[in-house]
Structure 1
Amino acid sequence: MGGSGSGDPGGRGVGQHASIFRLAQAFVRLKHLDQAEHSATTALNALERHYGDAANEPEALSVIGALHLALALIHARAGARTRARQEMKRAREVAARLGEDRNDFNSEFGPTNAEIQAVSIAVELGDAGEAIEVGTGLDTSTMSVERRARLKLDLGRAYAQRRQVGEAMGALLDAEQLSPDLIHTHVAARETIRDLLLFAGRTAPPELKVVG
């Protein structure tokens, strides 16, 4: 595979840096944001030093882009709005250079996944209008079920931020149909459902009570 030779200054190939991306994701889930940022930044710096523009290395571009997305989420979770926006901008630039949706190292990185993640970042930052505008215009038909369900979940969260109960419920039910486990186990999904039940009170739709 291109780009995975021993010339990497850190002594790692692209695939090993991709494993650091997954490690950073695990740290985020555990809310260890400092460790997540450190691991993602270290891998990203090593890749960018070694590959430069990586014009002919799509695998490297995929991992670089995925790491920028990881950092965008890390900064958004930490409330660092400017840094989150900067990383999201860089991820979009890498996706544009890549020019296609790929799945190198199971990253699903490409223009579509970058926009799916942009929706998630907007929700984390409380920019519900932006999340809805970006998310409702996306064609995710070629993406994995997990990515499609995650977009629906984030759209549900965005609608909930605007107290649009009907739209939020519809998005969450779509997500549940795609990936029941995501809705029934994801912390953000459970929190959103609880919020919607509080907003709606006695008028909460029966479908929402079932999901909740």
Structure 2
Amino acid sequence: MAADRAIRAAEQSGNTLEVFASIFRLAQAFVRLKHLDQAEHSATTALNALERHYGDAANEPEALSVIGALHLALALIHARAGARTRARQEMKRAREVASRLGEDRNDFNLEFGPTNTEIQAVSIAVELGDAGEAIEVSTELDTSTMSVERRARLKLDLGRAYAQRRQVGEAMGALLDAEQLSPDPIHTHVAARDTIRDLLLFAGRTAPPELKELAERADARP
């Protein structure tokens, strides 16, 4: 509902790019609801329309930010659907757009740029089960200029990657770092709770007290 209202408000404002940015948020909402077909349709339709509407002007920074964000949305959608090749293709396109943009920006509160693209690459790698790649990419990132939400998301995905490799200590450390940055995602995000439960099962009776306490705070006991 919020995304739909944002689209209507953007249309009334006459800012075309704001409309497309709002459609990006609608696609994100569909992903959270696991309506992947609707998410893909929204993002693809917006991307095609944006590129047709702007033509050569699509090289302007604000337009590149929206185009790149939509490619990232499609990468996540395909990763969630298990479409590995298509997810990789969209990540490649997002990286190309980020390279053309050449800087981290926050047009329409999208935080699109080279750094956020790599943060999303970590998330995509985790979704595809490529834990080693996710860990390698994350260790090379400087996220000091990014929002708390983005930095926390990277730590959450790093924790998920370590959990895929059953490295309990490293996974717990990443999740605790994420919680310190922004508690709400760790306490409410389904993927975070599932990861914490998996870590408790991996550790069994040897689960560290810090992990048990985190599970209590996140209501993630097995």
Partner of 1:112: 115
Once residues 53 and 86 of structure 1 are traced to their aligned partners in structure 2, the CA distance between those partners, rounded to angstroms, is 22
Contact 1:23 1:36 in 2 (8 A): yes
Which of residues 175, 179, 187 in structure 2 aligns to 1:176?
Answer: 179
Contact 1:8 1:50 in 2 (8 A): no
Once residues 97 and 9 of structure 1 are traced to their aligned partners in structure 2, the CA distance between those partners, rounded to angstroms, is 30
- The unaligned stretches of length 5 or more in structure 1 are 1-5
Contact 1:9 1:50 in 2 (8 A): no
- The unaligned stretches of length 5 or more in structure 2 are 1-8, 213-222
Quote the offset at 1:49 in angstroms.
1.7
Partner of 2:62: 59
TM-score where L is the length of structure 1: 0.92
Q: Secondary structure of 2:13's match? A: coil
Stretch deviating more after TM superposition (175-184 or 42-51): 42-51
- Aligned counterparts, 1:154-165, within 5 A: 154-165=157-168
Runs of 4+ in 1 over 6 A off after TM superposition: 6-12
Aligned-pair identity in percent equals 91
- Aligned counterparts, 1:4-43, within 5 A: 13-43=16-46
Q: Secondary structure of 1:79's match? A: coil
Structure with greater helix share of residues:
2
Contact 2:28 2:39 in 1 (8 A): yes
Once residues 159 and 64 of structure 2 are traced to their aligned partners in structure 1, the CA distance between those partners, rounded to angstroms, is 31
Q: Alpha-carbon deviations, 1:90-120, whole Å to 9, x = none? A: 0000000000000001100000000000000
Once residues 208 and 131 of structure 1 are traced to their aligned partners in structure 2, the CA distance between those partners, rounded to angstroms, is 22
TM-score where L is the length of structure 2: 0.88
Contact 1:61 1:98 in 2 (8 A): yes
Once residues 126 and 38 of structure 1 are traced to their aligned partners in structure 2, the CA distance between those partners, rounded to angstroms, is 25
Q: Secondary structure of 1:100's match? A: coil
CA separation of 1:123/1:7 partners in 2, compared to 1, >3 Å: closer, same or farther?
A: closer
Q: Secondary structure of 1:9's match? A: helix
Once residues 88 and 159 of structure 1 are traced to their aligned partners in structure 2, the CA distance between those partners, rounded to angstroms, is 22
Quote the offset at 1:48 in angstroms.
1.4
Once residues 76 and 46 of structure 1 are traced to their aligned partners in structure 2, the CA distance between those partners, rounded to angstroms, is 23
CA separation of 1:194/1:177 partners in 2, compared to 1, >3 Å: closer, same or farther?
A: same
Quote the offset at 1:52 in angstroms.
3.4
Quote the offset at 1:51 in angstroms.
2.5
Once residues 54 and 61 of structure 1 are traced to their aligned partners in structure 2, the CA distance between those partners, rounded to angstroms, is 9
Once residues 74 and 126 of structure 1 are traced to their aligned partners in structure 2, the CA distance between those partners, rounded to angstroms, is 15
Q: Secondary structure of 2:10's match? A: coil
The count of corresponding residues between Structure 1 and Structure 2 is 204
Q: Alpha-carbon deviations, 1:143-195, whole Å to 9, x = none? A: 00000000000000000000000100000000000010010000000000000
Instruction: State the superposition RMSD in angstroms.
Output: 2.5
